[in-house]
Chains A and B, each alone.
Chain A
Amino acid sequence: SYELTQPPSISVSPGQTVSMTCSGDELGDKYVYWYQQKPGQSPVVVIYEDTKRPSGIPERFSGSSSGNTATLTISGTQTMDGSDYYCQAWHGVTAVFGGGTKLTVL
């Protein structure tokens, strides 16, 4: 089965820039989507099609992709950005999610 790999956890200090990665076979041939999920809440998309930001998502969220790795970057991280982040891609007809990265802001 197709897998997307994310680091389990990352820490960042408020105001700093943090990046988290998502890797998978032939990921460069697919679009990657990033979701933010706070405890007890449903996921919210923060980046779609590798680099695009939906309306209402702060500009400090950005996405990039190179080779088989996609990256979500948060610039000027705020305390409220502490969440779980999941990458997602379509593998054939199936939505595949990464295992998630827990971002701690402290």
Chain B
Amino acid sequence: QLQLQESGPGLVKPSETLSLTCTVSGGSISNSKYYWGWIRQPPGKGLEGIANINYSGNTYYNPSLESRVTISVDTSKNQFSLKLNSVTAADTAVYYCARVVLDCATGTCYKNYFDFWGQGTLVTVSS
């Protein structure tokens, strides 16, 4: 069974950089049938897609966060990571990592749904 586990500091100071890693177990991050993504959820609010990446390093960012976000992959460690700089209190949220199913049945590939999620990690931005 595939498992994803987020790790990183639970408290980050304003203006600093939030760094999280997602470790994938029970499957290979190098599988070309999937993308890997980060989603966040502020306390009591809805979900927001942040970024996604594939094993070869093709990256895609939410335009509203693109100037502050970097997503990367380390296939040797079966991990992918998120960095969000210049954080403010508005970045306080539960951060989830998740797998994105890629559908290539028609010959053109498109991203489908998030089928496996990590348990989420709360990151609080506060001095």
| Chain A residues in the interface with B (C-beta under 8 A) | 1, 31, 33, 35, 42-45, 48-49, 54, 86, 88, 90, 93-100
User: Which positions 77-127 of chain B face chain A at CB distance < 8 Å?
Assistant: 96, 98, 100, 110-115, 117-120
In angstroms, how far is the closest chain B Cβ from the Cβ of A24?
Answer: 14
Question: What number of B residues sit within 8 Å (CB to CB) of A?
Answer: 25
A-B contact count (CB 8 A): 61
Which chain B residue has the least Cβ–Cβ distance from A93? B60
In the bound assembly, the distance between CA atoms of A49 and B39 in angstroms comes to 20
In angstroms, how far is the closest chain B Cβ from the Cβ of A49?
Answer: 7
> Are B120 and A48 closer than 8 Å at their CB atoms?
no
> Are B114 and A95 closer than 8 Å at their CB atoms?
yes
In the complex, whether B2 has a CB less than 8 A from a CB of chain A is no
Chain B 13-34, CB-CB to A under 8 Å as 1, else 0, gives 0000000000000000000000
In the complex, whether B62 has a CB less than 8 A from a CB of chain A is yes
> Are A97 and B119 closer than 8 Å at their CB atoms?
no
Additional A-B contact list (16), CB under 8 Å, known A93-B61, A94-B61, A95-B39: A1-B63, A33-B112, A42-B119, A43-B47, A43-B96, A45-B115, A49-B113, A88-B47, A88-B49, A88-B114, A90-B111, A93-B60, A94-B49, A95-B49, A97-B39, A99-B46
